[in-house]
Every structure is written in structure tokens, then in C-alpha cells.
Amino acid sequence: MPIKVLVVDDSALIRSLLSEIIQADSQLQLVGVAADAYVARDLVNKHAPDVITLDVEMPRMDGLTFLEKLMRARPTPVVMISSLTEQGSEATLRALELGAIDFVSKPKLGISEGMQAYANEIRAKLKVAAGARLLKRAAVARPAVVEALAPAAPIVGTEKLLAIGASTGGTEAIKEVLLGLPADCPGVVITQHMPAGFTRSFAERLNRLTRLTVSEAKDGDRILPGHALIAPGGRHLLVSRSGANYVARLSDAPPVNGHRPAVDMMFHSAARCAGRNLIAALLTGMGRDGAQGLLDIRQSGGYTLAQDEASCVVYGMPREAAAIGAAEEVLPLAAIAPALLAQARKRGGGNRV
């Protein structure tokens, strides 16, 4: 049976382009198009689509309000069609928080040519979303609340390094892990598959919500305790050493596993620098990026874990890691931050500031 797709967008051009892209694939079936949320609601009830493409900016009811109502009344996988602006990226992150599975960014110029260039990506994301697990979203915990739950013993040592990789479903998974980390945790490096223009907003959002100082990585940044660096969209994040310090390096090397930034690039470089002092987690995501890098970390003496199937939006990357023996443990999302902290304490060492 083909995957039933509903297109919701106030732009007639985008509706037409998405319809063409969907109808060109025999595995997808276009069941309707809607110019606003009210028409979309009726089509959802009529056709019960497997996946919906949704624009943020629409008349009568904006996309985020519709998404929130949809997830309460009739949870359905959603792929957001987002404008590549600061405001657009903030709205997209909010949509992912509300339960959207993934997003595709609209090109700023040459929309017709740009959307056609993304045709394969759009079709792939629709297929992944249709099979994704819709998770119940917990209310966002505030740092003050998490503080009370954090272990009282201080973490000694930033010879230790935390590394986290994720893809589809990862923005919320990463947020949950970071909310569980105290302000004195080892430095953190993060690669989330995300295009340029969105990672800075993602970092700023995490910086507001967690007790860590979170920023988009710049070449030469020191990886400090209590800080988290996120790979910028379109560039690989690598870890190197400068004397006793860990330092972030950015690379424009070709995509790896179809991605730039790639989790494998970060994991391999971190394994070389940190060895047994490295503590790494591979979270939800489609494909296999990160699995070989996680194995490299384990073989270098570091601690490795993968997110379990039940708590993943898409159990792809962690499944690959578990299959090749890269993950020392496979844990539910809620147990990952405590496991990372337990390993950081277990491995000891002295704090470097």
C-alpha cells in the first residue's frame, strides 16, 4: 500500500511543487492539498493520511497551532516545510518540540528549482516519517527543576569528554539528555544532522533551557567543562588536542554517510584524542551514521551507549550500532544522562578549566 500524504501550505506554488514531487513516486499517494488548517482538518478526518507536510505561516490558523491540535486529537507524522530564516528556524524547533518528525527548508531564492533539487530528500523524509514512532512529549523541564534531581557529588575531570550524535528525532532527544546534565559536567560535543541556518537557533534554544553553556561550534573553540558545542550545519565537527586541552575543529571535507556534519567524523576524531576518557551516546536517527565511529570509541577504551528502540523516533543509527557490537549498553532515553554522569564519575581524573 502506498503511503498517503496530505500537503498543507498556503502557497499555491509550494502545493503544486510538492504534489508533483509526491506523485512522481509510486510509493507515495497524494490524498489531498489544503491551503489552510481548517481545510486540512477536514481532509485529515476524511483521508486519515499516513504523513502530512505542513507550512508554519498560514492564514486563519498558523501551522504550530494546527500541529498542537493535531497531536492532541489525531496524532499523525508531520514533516514541516520551513523557511530558512532565524524566525523560521525558531518555529521549526518549536514544531519538533510539539511532535513533528522532521523538516525540509524552503530555498530562499528560485523556489521551483530549489524544491525540485530537494525532491529525493523530501520523498525520503516522507517515507521515514510515515514509519516513525510518535512519542508523547513531556513538558519541558526547567533547569531549576532538574537541579534538584541532579546528583550532589561534583564531577571531577574534564579530561573526560562527552560526545553525542543524532539525526531524525534528535533535537528533542538531545534536549532531554542535556537537561539531565549538571553545570559542572565534562565538555560536550554534539553532531545533529541539520542544515546550515538551523543549528545556531538550536544551540541558542538549548542554551536557554539547560544549565550548560551551549553554542554553535567555531573552529578553535576550547571544549570546556559545563559547555556544549554543536556542529554547524554544513560543516563537520572534529575534536583535536592542543596540549592538555580538547579543541573543536571544523572541516569542509565531503559528506560522510550522506551527511555533513557527520557523526562518524566527530566520533572517530574524538576517539583518537580522548581514548578511554571519552563517553559517547548515539541517539535516534535514520541510517547508519555514527555506528562505526561508536565502535571505534569502544575499541579505544571509551564508554559507548545507544538509545533503545522503544524511545527512538527512528531506530536506525542506534540499531546499526547495536548490531555491530559498538554499544556497551542500549538504554531508554530517560536513562542516558544518568549513565553518562555515572561513567564520568567512575572514570575519575582531574578537572581542567
Do 151 and 256 lie in a common domain?
A: yes
What's the domain count of the chain?
2
At 282 the pLDDT is 98
Do 154 and 88 lie in a common domain?
A: no
Do 117 and 264 lie in a common domain?
A: no
Q: Does 124 score more than 90 pLDDT?
A: yes
Mean pLDDT calculated for residue range 287-297: 97
Domain termination site, one of 73, 107, 130: 130
Do 111 and 214 lie in a common domain?
A: no
Q: Is residue 325 part of a domain?
A: yes
What is the CATH number for 242? 3.40.50.180
Domain termination site, one of 130, 163, 197: 130
Q: Is residue 137 part of a domain?
A: no
At 57 the pLDDT is 85
Mean pLDDT calculated for residue range 181-209: 95
Q: Which of 82, 83, 167, 300 is catalytic?
A: 167
Mean pLDDT calculated for residue range 248-266: 97
At 112 the pLDDT is 76
At 348 the pLDDT is 66
At 21 the pLDDT is 94
Element (DSSP H or E) covering residue 166: strand 161-166
Q: How far is CA 337 from CA 167, 307, 315, 332, in A?
A: 18, 11, 19, 10
Write the pLDDT tens digit of every residue in 29-42.
Answer: 999 999 999 999 99
Q: Does 146 score more than 70 pLDDT?
A: no
Kindly provide the b/e burial profile for residues 212-231, where b requires at least 16 CB atoms within 10 angstroms of the residue's own CB.
bebbbbeeebebbbbbbbbb
**Share above pLDDT 90 across residues of the chain, in percent, rounded to a whole number:** 76
Mean pLDDT calculated for residue range 261-282: 96
Q: In the structure, what pLDDT confidence band is assigned to residue 86 with cuts at 50, 70 and 90?
A: low
At 298 the pLDDT is 97
The Cα 344–Cα 95 span in angstroms is 33
| Domain residue limits at 338 | 143-347
For residue 47, indicate whether it is catalytic.
no
For residue 215, indicate whether it is catalytic.
no
Closest CA to 223 of 181, 185, 195, 196: 185
Q: What is the DSSP letter of 321?
A: H
For residue 193, indicate whether it is catalytic.
yes
* Helix axes 336-347 and 170-179, enclosed angle (nearest 10): 50
Higher-scoring residue by pLDDT: 343, 59? 343
Do 108 and 162 lie in a common domain?
A: no
Q: In the structure, what pLDDT confidence band is assigned to residue 109 with cuts at 50, 70 and 90?
A: low
Domain termination site, one of 130, 153, 187: 130
Cell 569542509 sits on residue: 252
At 308 the pLDDT is 98
Q: Which of 9, 264, 289, 296 is catalytic?
A: 289
Q: Is residue 136 part of a domain?
A: no
Q: What is the DSSP letter of 222?
A: B
Do 17 and 123 lie in a common domain?
A: yes
Answer whether 197's CB lies under 8 Å from 160's CB: no
Answer whether 42's CB lies under 8 Å from 50's CB: no
Q: In the structure, what pLDDT confidence band is assigned to residue 113 with cuts at 50, 70 and 90?
A: confident
> Which is it for strands 78-83 and 102-106: parallel, antiparallel or unpaired?
parallel
Q: In the structure, what pLDDT confidence band is assigned to residue 154 with cuts at 50, 70 and 90?
A: very low
Question: Is 243 strand, coil or helix?
Answer: coil
Do 111 and 149 lie in a common domain?
A: no
> Residue ranges of the alpha helices (H) in 234-335?
263-274, 291-299, 317-323
Instruction: Quote the pTM value.
Output: 0.89
Mean pLDDT estimate for the chain:
90
Q: Which of 193, 227, 259, 268 is catalytic?
A: 193
**Share above pLDDT 70 across residues of the chain, in percent, rounded to a whole number:** 90
* Helix axes 170-179 and 199-209, enclosed angle (nearest 10): 30
Do 204 and 266 lie in a common domain?
A: yes
Mean pLDDT calculated for residue range 320-348: 95
Residue 222: phi and psi, rounded to 5, are: -75, 145
Do 195 and 326 lie in a common domain?
A: yes
CA 67 to chain centre: 19
At 347 the pLDDT is 77
At 135 the pLDDT is 79
